[in-house]
Amino acid sequence: MADVAALAGVSTQTVSRVSMGLDNVRPATRDRVLAAMAELGYAPNTAARALRYGSFRTIGVIAHRLARTGESRTVEAVVEAARKEGYTVTLIDVESPSSDVVSAAATRLSHQAIDGLVIIRAETASPDTLALPPRLPVVVSDSRFVGHHPAVGADQADGARSATQHLLDLGHRTVHHVAGPSDSIPAQLRTEAWRTTLDAAGSPVPEVVEGDWTSASGYDAGRRLAADPEVTAVFCANDEMAAGVLRALHEAGRAVPGDVSVVGFDDILLAGYLWPPLTTVAQDFDEIGRRLVARLLQQVRSGEVEDDGDTEDLHEVIPVELLVRQSTAPPR
């Protein structure tokens, strides 16, 4: 900046005025400064600006297994929403969703330049053992933090309910369930709603087969289910596991949806192109991302950190939609 000022024959303050686009600079002077900037390849120093303003216009995002499932969709939506607000996103991908790892990530991020933090599915982290930097605005997606921090999440229960009910309505006697890991909150919510729906319909509640969200675990679960001729309908806690179940059923020679109907959860991009195209519960990841950012920036701007207070209205639930494709049909 000093170089630019010297070259243009003005003070640094005038350079600053030009680079900020203020209009109280004489056009001739402005041109000289702009020319000097171009010649020297000057760009304002972000660190100094951030120091001056006390803000980076950046939010941090902690995600787990970015390459999977709705994670990347949510991150994409958060990035997009942040961009529209003039914020950039700094990303950390943790290998494990446990408290200490997430804590470490949050601490590391807060030492970086962020104005607020979005935690996406810190599934197994507990709010009690999670040490977050004080005074840092935080929002979370589905997780155990609901009630401790402002949260935005899909309507897990309604999704699981409508998936299960859809299968019951088709005439299935009951619905088997391939669950997510039992320490995951969304997995718990989905399993719980599935159970409740079966109970309400007076259907027997089969034993849960637990997976770990991966297709491989779904495949294992599917092999077990395929061996049981009683199984005519399966609700999987996510689409990846559903894909594994489909493969296992195909291999066992059980027709889908002729012999067994399958429903997934998430509506991943490939869901409509599995064979058969998968009936699933679509989460509105875009809306979740937008609302996460909106809630976070609200805190950032007000300088207030919402917590522990009104636990109820801190949790925002985004509706889901059951997409009926071709993997479900009445039982034979």
Residues near DNA (CB under 7 A) are: 1, 9-14, 16-17, 19-20, 24-26, 28-30, 44-45, 47-49, 51-54
For a second copy, the binding residues in 135-174 under the rule CB under 8 A are 135
For a second copy, the binding residues in 91-110 under the rule CB under 8 A are 91-93, 108-110
Under the binding rule (CB under 8 A), the answer on residue 2 touching a second copy is no
**Residue 332 partner contact from a second copy, DNA, none using kind-dependent CB cut-offs of 5 to 8 Å:** none
Q: Which two tokens stand for residue 151?
A: 């949260």
Task: State how far the Cα of 215 lies from the Cα of 293, in Å rounded to an integer.
Answer: 30
Under the binding rule (CB under 8 A), the answer on residue 111 touching a second copy is yes
C-alpha dihedral (163, 165, 167, 168), degrees to nearest 10: 160
Beta-strand (E) ranges in 55-160? 58-64, 88-94, 116-119, 138-140, 151-154
φ/ψ of residue 91, rounded to 5: -115, 135
Of residues 65 and 315, the one with the C-beta less far from a second copy:
65
Contacts of 331 (CB under 8 A, 6+ apart): 170, 171, 172, 173, 232, 233, 261
3-state helix, strand, coil in the chain (%, to 5): 45, 15, 40
Under the binding rule (CB under 8 A), the answer on residue 46 touching a second copy is yes
**Residue 66 partner contact from a second copy, DNA, none using kind-dependent CB cut-offs of 5 to 8 Å:** a second copy
Of residues 1 and 205, the one with the C-beta less far from a second copy:
1
Of residues 64 and 161, the one with the C-beta less far from a second copy:
64
Kindly write out the interface string for residues 54-73 of this chain, putting x where it contacts a second copy by CB under 8 A and - elsewhere. Answer: x-xxx------xxxx---xx
Task: State how far the Cα of 331 lies from the Cα of 216, in Å rounded to an integer.
Answer: 26
Min dist CB 73 to a second copy, Å, is: 5
Contacts of 147 (CB under 8 A, 6+ apart): 127, 311, 314, 315
**Residue 14 partner contact from DNA, a second copy, none using kind-dependent CB cut-offs of 5 to 8 Å:** DNA
C-alpha dihedral (150, 156, 161, 162), degrees to nearest 10: 110
For a second copy, the binding residues in 167-206 under the rule CB under 8 A are none
Of residues 48 and 269, the one with the C-beta less far from DNA:
48
Tell which one of 16, 90, 126, 298 touches a second copy (CB under 8 A): 90
Contacts of 236 (CB under 8 A, 6+ apart): 177, 178, 211, 218, 242, 245, 262, 263, 264, 265
State the residue for tokens 């990347």: 72
Which window, 121-129, 157-165, 194-202, 262-270, contacts a second copy (CB under 8 A)?
262-270
What is the Cα 202 distance to its own chain's centre?
Answer: 34
Alpha helical stretches, state H, 93-214: 99-111, 156-169, 185-201
What SS3 state is found at 301? helix
Under the binding rule (CB under 8 A), the answer on residue 306 touching a second copy is no
Tell which one of 244, 265, 281, 282 touches a second copy (CB under 8 A): 244
Tell which one of 106, 138, 163, 243 touches a second copy (CB under 8 A): 243
Of residues 13 and 129, the one with the C-beta less far from DNA:
13
Interface ranges with a second copy (CB under 8 A): 41, 43-48, 50-51, 54, 56-58, 65-68, 72-73, 75-76, 79-80, 83, 88-93, 108-113, 133-135, 214-216, 218-219, 240, 243-244, 246-247, 250, 268-270, 272-277
